Amino acid sequence: MIDTILKRSSVRRYTDEEISRENLDKIIRAGFAAPTSHNSRPWHFIILDDKELMKNVGQNMEYAHMIEFANKAIIVCADVTLAPECWMLDCSAASENILLAAESLGIGACWTAVYPYKHREEVVKKFIPLPENIKPLCIIPLGYAGKPANIKDKYDSTRIHYNKFNW
């Protein structure tokens, strides 16, 4: 498990191999298993597999063009009325679960940010109308990796402190 956490990296190029319904279901279930503030569970998950829609979103979303070439994508959203101040934390934990579940199944994924960028939210809403109370946090394209992962070791002992902050 910890190996999977350490090995996970952003995958931005994908093969055409199909992600099975069963694996997609496992990935989504991982999202639902994240902790949430006051157990508010504010999340909604929009699964994209319509190629025309993915092309439109990908071509118009900055830093996320690879959505067009992914096999599937998941938009992690929240009903912000359920957790007005914490929905972005709750959905971040759910998104990390999704990334890790995908990695554990050999499926590549990448967190592409929508929040906190208003113009990116507008791109989502142009192609996928959303109620006022539903905010997208990120879009996670999914696909089998088209090239070997570039695993970074981000450990930095200067960021670890004991019982007080050293500065």
Binding site for a copy of itself (CB under 8 A): 1-2, 4-6, 8, 10, 26, 28-30, 32-35, 37, 41, 43-50, 53, 77, 85-86, 88-90, 92-93, 95-97, 99-101, 104-105, 111, 113, 115-116, 128-131, 134, 137, 154-156, 159-165, 167
The pair of three-digit structure tokens given for residue 131, joined into one six-digit string:
């109620």
CB nearer to a copy of itself: give 14 or 135.
135
Q: At what angle do helices 118-127 and 51-60 cross, to 10 degrees?
A: 160
Task: Tell me the closest approach of the beta carbon of residue 36 to a copy of itself, in angstroms.
Answer: 8
- According to DSSP, the β-strands at 112-113 and 72-79 are unpaired
State the distance between the two ends of the chain, measured CA to CA, in whole angstroms: 34
Residue 86 or 146: the one with the smaller Cβ distance to a copy of itself is 86
Looking at the Cβ atoms of 37 and 60, the one nearer to a copy of itself is 37
Distance, CA of 158 to CA of 143 (rounded, Å): 35
Q: Which is nearer to a copy of itself, 71 or 95 (CB)?
A: 95
Residues 6+ apart with CB under 8 A from 167: none
Amino acid letter, 77: C
